[in-house]
Structure 1
Amino acid sequence: MSDDVCKIVHFTLLEAPLMRLSIIVAMDDNQLIGKNNALPWHLPADLGYFKKVTTGKTVLMGRKTYESIGRPLPNRRNVIVSRNTNFKADGCEVVSSIDAALKLAKDDSEVMVMGGASFYEQMLPSVDRLYITQIEGEYQGDAHFPKFDRGKFSEVSRESHTADEKNQYTYHFTILDRI
């Protein structure tokens, strides 16, 4: 990641000190998050958790993540960051930089970064909170969450669930706050 990205994100966050910048992500034990621009698993409980945590908030995403969803997420402000200045998406705001995305949401109390992998990598050094759905096991895929130092975060909460008839994987909802 370039130093310019860090400076831009840092500067913007100083302009909006009341905003909490958060990442929401589901990953396996190897930090796998995607396969062919889709989730490598079907976990209804995680989809419900994602909806609960993000509803009413601004969600930031890269273009590929938006294209994998195919529509704006309801009851959320959808902001897409794309270098393609011609990219348009009905019901979404499209900006060409992280700085522009954060300026749009500067008055929000919490902004949710929802992927993809390269967007997570750019945003991770600046986030205050991580909402992680940890899915036990190792699965096949091609996109991973970036490595990060868990020692720089404190676990705020953890909710564990075993596999059942609706959710075929054991999983944990964990919230980490930057120390």
Structure 2
Amino acid sequence: MIVMIAAAAENNALGKDNQLVWHLPDDFKRFKQLTTGHYIIMGRKTFESFPKPLPNRTHVVITRQKGYHPAGCLVADSIGSAIALVPKNEDAFVIGGGEIYKLAMPFADKIELTRVHASFEADAFFPEINSMEWKLATDTYHPKDEKHQFDFTYETFLKTT
């Protein structure tokens, strides 16, 4: 199964200057819980935004840069070739950035979205979720608190077509 996992604001903002524009510790925990032990597919800029590779995950980095081979990562030149690197019986999580999400949308079976209930200035955006192709299966609301500056909702969408 191909799962897109993201945190996006009400205006679909993902981040600015290759950084998230909010800090939600529970969302980080959920991301880790869902992706640990699986393949994670991302663009080069997303990969390079990490201080080091994420533990206990197989990284697949999409880039058109020739000779780009970060240690311990698989490298692909397209979303299709990235997906082809994932064994058929394995789940893969597409983790960004904005262009990679747009390219992955037709291949995805599921979207795990953390909807941040605010709008932000950004330079990377999550694609619109077409209600004719996707059905909201579950949603869980979390109000802001001492650790979370914004309200947010975990939303799981399943492809209908």
- Give TM-score scaled by structure 2 length: 0.94
Specify which of 106, 120, 135 is matched with residue 125 of structure 1: 106
Identify which range, 151-160 or 57-66, moves more after superposition.
151-160
SS for the counterpart of 2:135 is strand
The CA distance in 2 between the partners of 1:67 and 1:136, in whole Å, is 27
Specify which of 59, 70, 94 is matched with residue 89 of structure 1: 70
- Counterpart contact for 2:39–2:90, Cα < 8 Å: no
Q: Which has the higher helix share?
A: 1
The CA distance in 2 between the partners of 1:70 and 1:84, in whole Å, is 20
Correspondence for 1:171: 152
The CA distance in 1 between the partners of 2:132 and 2:27, in whole Å, is 25
- Counterpart contact for 1:58–1:110, Cα < 8 Å: yes
- Give TM-score scaled by structure 1 length: 0.85
The CA distance in 2 between the partners of 1:98 and 1:142, in whole Å, is 21
The CA distance in 2 between the partners of 1:172 and 1:95, in whole Å, is 32
Query: Aligned pair count?
Result: 160
Q: State the shift of 1:147 in Å.
A: 2.1
Question: Which consecutive unaligned segments of at least 5 residues does structure 1 have?
Answer: 1-19
Percent identity of paired positions between Structure 1 and Structure 2: 34
Q: How does 1:41-56 map to 2 (within 5 A)?
A: 41-56=22-37
Q: State the shift of 1:139 in Å.
A: 1.4
Identify which range, 142-151 or 41-50, moves more after superposition.
142-151
Which 4+ stretches in 1 moved above 3 angstroms? none
SS for the counterpart of 2:96 is coil
Question: Which consecutive unaligned segments of at least 5 residues does structure 2 have?
Answer: none
